Amino acid sequence: MRTFEPILLAVVLFFPALCQAEQSCLWLNAATAGGVLGGPVTATVSRASANPSNAATPNAKSSAGPTSANPARAAYGSNAVDDSDCLFVRQSGSVFGELRIEVRTMSEPRKEFAAYVARCRDHATALQAIGNQAAGCSLNDKPGGLSEQVVGRVRDRAFVVRLSINEPSLAQSALREKARKTAEQVAGSLF
């Protein structure tokens, strides 16, 4: 046990450093992504567009916002949240995990969302209580690893959660459950 402690200490010191190195993902923080992938992650966030015309949630249509006359509070940005992609990667020895989150605003949700569901080809399984609607599927398109995908919608915004882990001991059903829970977190952030 004594020889194990320095390693643990290094891990302790290292974990927060990795977390701090992340950029902010609006849909899921790196610590939660790390929980999904089973260890520390590196995060990359990219905005889909600076100010998509219809990226505001219905909340943003309200004139209310901060009511304070206090300039410090009034200075907060609008309620609009831009579309963006988040990529979380965990590499630990031979174990590799990747979590991709993609969020896009749809101008015609009824038409456009079908294209997102089509990403599951004919394997889509409807998932209840994730956003307005969601579907999941197993991809397994890379050799040696498992991959699960959830596509969903919150009002006029589509999201895609894709989770891949090449951990031999991980069952497909466990990965599916991880993907479902992650999708629920993402949808929750989008409401």
Reference 105, options 149, 62, 155; nearest CA is 155
Residue 142 CB, shortest distance to another protein, in Å, is 24
Reference 18, options 3, 1, 33, 8; nearest CA is 33
Q: How far apart are CA 134 and CA 132, in angstroms?
A: 7
Residues 31-70 that bind another protein (CB under 8 A): 31-32, 34-35, 38-41, 57-60, 62-70
Q: If binding is defined by CB under 8 A, does position 173 make contact with another protein? A: no
Residue 143 CB, shortest distance to another protein, in Å, is 27
Strand ranges for 106-179 from DSSP E: 125-127, 133-138, 146-154, 157-165
Binding site for another protein (CB under 8 A): 1-2, 4-5, 8-9, 11-12, 15-16, 18-20, 24, 28-32, 34-35, 38-41, 57-60, 62-70, 73, 76-81, 109-110, 128-129, 131-132, 154-156, 181, 184-185, 187-189, 191
